[in-house]
Structure 1
C-alpha cells in the first residue's frame, strides 16, 4: 500500500470517528475480507473509544450466520459475497455489540473477494460494504483492481468514505 493510500485511510478514519462523536453515535464493525483492518483504522484515531463499540471478524462463512445472524438460506444460495449478506452483517453486528440491551447505532460490514482466486462465483475485486443506521441500510458495491492486499486496503478506504457520506445524510 502506498503512503498516499495510508494517509487517505487515516484521514477517512479520522473524519468518520469525528462525525460519529459529533452525532453521539456508536458503531460496530463486521469484517470478512478486511480481517480487522477497518476496525483497526477507526480505533487508531484518538478519541475512538467514545464511539467504537468493537468489531467482529467473521472470516468463516458459518460465523456470518451463527454470530451475526445472516440468513443461512441466503448464504447457502448465494455464498458470502452478496450485497444482502453485507447488509445483514452490518445489522447483525449492531445487535451483537449491544450493551445493556442497546444495539450500536451504526453497523458497517465488509464482504468480498480479495483473491487470489474467485469465490462463490464472484470475481476477485468484487466487494460489498453494508451500512445500517437507525434510518435504514444501504450497500455500496465495489469492483476493485489489484492484488490481495491492495484490494483489502482500498476496501477500508472506500468503506470509510461511504460511512462519512452516510453519516452526513443523517444530519
Structure 2
C-alpha cells in the first residue's frame, strides 16, 4: 500500500510541477500576455498564488526524501524562503494591489484593416497612490480569452492607413 501511495504522489508531483513550469515559461517568454479582463487576471493571480503554496508543500515532501544531508538542508531552506515570499505576496492580491498594471477597457477606437484581432483600445489604469484613473490608448491583439499588449500609450494622430476608426 505505501508503494502505491508513493507512486501516485510521484505522478501527481510530475503533473503539478509540469503545469507550474509551463505557466512560468509562458510568462517568461510572452510577458505581455494576459487575460482580456482584469477580473480574470486577478482570479488567476489568486489561483496561482494558492497553487504555489501547494507546489511548495509537494516540493517539501520531495526534498525530505533527499539522502544527502547538505543538499537536503539547502533545498528545504530555499523552499521555505520561496514559501515565505508567496505568503507575503498573497495579501497583496487580496488587498487588490496588483504587482502588474491592470488595464480596464473603455472602448475600441481603431482596428487594423489587415488583421481584425488587432486594435487600438482606449483603456485606463488606476494609480494605486492617489486612486485616480489614468487614461491611455494601447495597441492590443486579442486571442480568444487572452490579450497581448503590442504597444502602450499610442498616439492615434500618427497612425498610418492600415487603421480604420470604429464607428
Superposed pair shares fold, TM > 0.5:
no
TM-score, with length taken from structure 2: 0.29
* Bigger relative contact order, structure 1 or 2 (CA pairs below 8 A, ≥6 apart): 1
Larger radius of gyration: 2
